[in-house]
Chains A and B, each alone.
Chain A
Amino acid sequence: MDFRPSPAQQLLVATARDFLKKHCPPERVQRVALDARGVDDALWQRMAELGWQGLLVPAELGGSEGSLLDVILLVEEMGRAGAPGPFVPSAVVATSVLLACDNADQKKRLLPAMAAGERIVGVALADEASSLEVDARGRLTGRALFVEAAHVADALVVAARAGGETQLLLVPTDRRGIARWPLEVIGPEKLFEVAFDGAAVSAEDRLGSSAGRRGALQAGALARTAEMVGAAQRVLELAVEYAKTRVQGGRPIGGHQAIQHACADLVRDVDASRGLLYAAAWRTSEGVPAVADVAMAKAYASEACLTVARRAHQIFGAIGYCEEHPLHLLHKRIHAASLDCGDAALHLEEVAQAIGLR
């Protein structure tokens, strides 16, 4: 048993931290969050130069051939920095679907471009938020909700019912019969309703049966957990720093037990979430069955990291209520990540079955 990242992983984390400090400072995160488009193209390109979007992709497809565990450590840093952009849907979930699918042409066409940061692929895989269907003539109809970054996506991976089974399709966003409507949310993420009004689907759009969906959503669930853990870690650091420097009644507020105990609980929540995350990511990377581990990690972190953010608001007092202050963005990101790739209720049901509840 060993909780320490390998030397190579430590290097990855240290590099990521330095890079994000320089190219994704809090002011920039704020600016991009308030911007309607909400994507930082220069940052996205720089990340691609470091091989981040291609971390899951093998070298022969232009990737940098990392492990899922590497991706998790990286996304944790991105969460800590509040880095904007559709990394999780495109570089984790859509990439995982494409890697697992049996459509060799699409793999060859898209994965190198995605790894190079030249293409972005969004995802609409959740059953609850979609009503997609392909009819007998190969027309895709219905709508998908909460599709992240559809406005900048070149294509979408969608799950649609076709002839009684669920099929995975890759649909270019500029195809006729597809409309993208922005949803307005409290957080920095850009979500869309995507309406399909008889868009034509051909054989080459088919990625095969839904076999790869589960694995991709699990990778996505882990990545979202990493994002929450990273953001909660940042909240913890900010709160402790503030507790040491904010003076009231002649001494730092961190000298009061009420604040001390709140901070002690923040560490507990972050550490416990991270332990579950790493263990689940390690098992998944090793190919050990990890469905329940992933579900536990996501469900646990969703509750614990959100609690961290909410308690931090109390520690900060009024300043944390300001748009200028970084806390609310971290908070909103944690909340959004908790919903994506299966919310806590869905994952808890997975756990319930794993522990033998009938």
Chain B
Amino acid sequence: MEFGFSPAETAFAEEVRGFLREQPLERFPVDGMDAGYGSGAHSRAFMKALAERGWISMCWPVAYGGQERPMFFKLVLFEELALAGAPFGPLAGSWQTADAIIEYGSERLRREVLPAVARGEATFWQGYSEPDAGSDLLALKTEARRDGDQYVIRGHKIWSSHAGIATHGLVFTRTSREARRSRGFSMFVVPNGTPGMDIRPIRSLTGGVYHYEVFLDDVRVPADLRLGPEGEGFQALLNGLDSDRFWGRFYKAPALERVLRRLVEHANTTGASRDPALRRRLAAMAAEIAALRLLFYRAACLLRDGAPISYETAVAKVYADETGQKLARLGMDLLGPWAPLRAGSREVRLDGEISHAYLTSLGHTIAGGTAEVLRTTVAVRGLGLPAEPRKA
């Protein structure tokens, strides 16, 4: 057992902190809403700064321009960035897509897309959900029809986060009708701006734009923009969702720790810190955040060691999302009448971060698999309880 970090990991953490000291965060313009996951806002400038350090591609094989650093370096980077409140919104998605391309992407994707990811230029939106396919993703209707060395994609995606500001969509489609419900799906990496693609913003409860809906009207894409073998897209997606839960939430614990520190400071300033009930709530939050961090590190060790994951990332994801909601709720209670003030308002407290977190955190137990669906996953896949009978 060992709960410390290696000298190399500690040194890298210091390197990241040094970078953050040299590059004050105000310098990086923000292009897209902070969705509250802990990875901050979407900032192309910040992604480029990370790329200049070689950090986006640091764990890739040398053959693809990487440095083959151990996976834990990514965790160290995430932790330091999240503790600082940096705007690295698209990073997890870029890493995951790059990993998939390295693992089973075509030559073309490796040649054209990977270097753009490494430069911090390519970022991705996920085109999975549709109006009639949410939790039941396999009910999706978007189809990709083969036509020579192209596919023609037709359908309607919705809730695609940051689709309007990312560079490529990961569009999940049906390529054939098969007896098995989970077969016949394929994923495509579709550049934004491809003719026939219409991306329309949806305003969120925060007042900002985060989601888009995407109409695909006979969008033609070269066959080698398909990610993975035809018809095998669902398995790839499942693997992707598994790691999505991990990579898309890993930074929640340090991000919540940062918010908790702000709440403590605020409570000290206002004198609310003398209220015994509040002291206990804040202390209990600190313990929950510490527990959350360890759940993720345990999953990280399993991933690193290639050990099987059955429920660990699903448990960690739900816990991350519910803990985030709880902290935001506590923050609102602490701020009292100031709680609803939004960023930029006169008299706003804590830069309006709490009211924003309160709203965005509502979506976290829905996005990436709802808390209900994931609890079922934990029970069925993790504990071996019988699956509910479902219609084919």
A-to-B contact residues, CB < 8 Å: 1-6, 9, 69, 240, 243-244, 251-252, 254-257, 259-261, 263-265, 267-268, 271-273, 275-276, 278-279, 282-283, 286, 288, 293, 296-297, 299-300, 303, 345, 348-352, 354-358
The listed residue (A255, A275, A350) touching B385 by CB distance below 8 A is: A255
The residue in chain B whose Cβ has the minimal distance to the Cβ of A285 is B1
Main secondary structure of the interface of A (DSSP, over half): helix
Residues in A whose Cβ lies below 8 Å from that of B273: 357-358
B1 with A69: CB separation less than 8 A: yes
The residue in chain A whose Cβ has the minimal distance to the Cβ of B257 is A355
A271 to B294, CA, bound (A): 9
A299 to B282, CA, bound (A): 12
The residue in chain A whose Cβ has the minimal distance to the Cβ of B260 is A355
The listed residue (B72, B282, B292, B386) touching A244 by CB distance below 8 A is: B386
A286 to B3, CA, bound (A): 10
26 contacts between A and B (CB under 8 A): A1-B2, A1-B3, A1-B72, A1-B301, A5-B1, A6-B1, A240-B384, A255-B385, A257-B388, A259-B379, A259-B385, A260-B385, A263-B385, A264-B311, A264-B379, A267-B315, A275-B291, A278-B1, A279-B294, A288-B4, A297-B287, A299-B284, A348-B280, A352-B283, A357-B283, A358-B268
A254-B379, A260-B379 known; A275 vs B298 contact (CB < 8 Å):
yes
Residues in B whose Cβ lies below 8 Å from that of A260: 375-376, 378-380, 385
A1-B5, A267-B311 known; A257 vs B372 contact (CB < 8 Å):
yes
Residues in B whose Cβ lies below 8 Å from that of A352: 279-280, 282-283
Q: Is B264 an interface residue (CB 8 A)?
A: yes
B3 with A357: CB separation less than 8 A: no
B290 with A296: CB separation less than 8 A: yes
A109 to B295, CA, bound (A): 44
A4-B1, A272-B319, A348-B279 known; A357 vs B301 contact (CB < 8 Å):
no
Residues in B whose Cβ lies below 8 Å from that of A2: 1-2, 301
A240 to B290, CA, bound (A): 27
Q: How large is the interface on B (under 10, 10 to 19, 20 to 34, 35 or more residues)?
A: 35 or more
Residues in A whose Cβ lies below 8 Å from that of B291: 272-273, 275-276, 296, 300
A252-B385, A300-B288 known; A355 vs B282 contact (CB < 8 Å):
yes
The listed residue (B2, B280, B300, B387) touching A255 by CB distance below 8 A is: B387
A206 to B78, CA, bound (A): 53
A273 to B252, CA, bound (A): 18
A275-B294, A348-B279, A357-B268 known; A3 vs B301 contact (CB < 8 Å):
yes
Residues in A whose Cβ lies below 8 Å from that of B261: 355-356
- The B1-31 residues at the A interface (CB cut-off 8 A) are 1-5
Give A213 Cβ to nearest chain B Cβ, in Å. 22
The residue in chain B whose Cβ has the minimal distance to the Cβ of A252 is B386
A283 with B315: CB separation less than 8 A: no
A7 to B315, CA, bound (A): 27
A242 to B332, CA, bound (A): 41
Q: Is B383 an interface residue (CB 8 A)?
A: yes
Residues in B whose Cβ lies below 8 Å from that of A286: 4
